[in-house]
Amino acid sequence: MPALYDVSIPAFIRGLKNLSNMLEKGKVFAAEQGIDLAELLNARLIDDMAPLTKQVQMTTDTAKFVAVRVGQVENQPWADDEVTFDDVQARVAKAISFLQATSPNGFEAREDAKVVLTTPSGDIPFTGSTYVHGFAIPNFFFHLSMAYALLRMKGVPVGKLDFLGAIR
């Protein structure tokens, strides 16, 4: 199996499954505590930070775009229109399915492939390897960590093992 696939896609699938489990714990906690789910979805650590819903979107987008930009999978545009817990869970499930359908063969010999990340500040050039190792993996875990932190901040009983998932 190509190395870029090995270091990214399985870790992203695991992280997204863990995110789904943490979101489910959030939903149960909110019901038990009488908290409006919108309060969790709109939670921010600070005013200028993206809320939980956007953290989920960014986590799923980062994983998806590795498959697209490096693994040569055709992009499926996803609207960022999630407003309910069911919506964010559906987005996570869609991302997991997308990644599970990704073939390792698409990553073959893509370490030096040109990858360009277009941002409002301009284009950022990468190779397949620098994109996966230097941007995508750190970005995925940043947004996954923020989702975890937002749930914890709101009192959801998740811990390190929820973030890591089952250790085997």
CATH number at residue 56: 1.20.120.450
3-state secondary structure of 77: coil
pLDDT at residue number 166: 72
Sign of CA pseudo-dihedral 92, 97, 10, 127: negative
Nearest-angstrom CA–CA distance, 158 and 162:
6
Number of domains in the chain: 1
User: What residues contact 72, with CB distance under 8 A and at least 6 apart?
Assistant: 106, 107, 110
pLDDT at residue number 167: 63
The position carrying tokens 């969790």 is: 40
Q: For 50-107, how does the pLDDT look when each residue is reduced to its tens digit (9 = 90+)?
A: 999 999 999 999 999 999 999 999 999 999 999 999 999 999 999 999 999 999 999 9
Write out the two tokens for 85: 């817990």
Greater model confidence, 14 or 168: 14
| Percent of the chain residues topping a pLDDT of 70 | 98
Of the candidates 115, 151, 37, 49, which has an alpha carbon nearest to the alpha carbon of residue 83? 37
Tell me the residue range of the domain where 92 lies: 3-164
Q: What is the pTM of this model?
A: 0.95
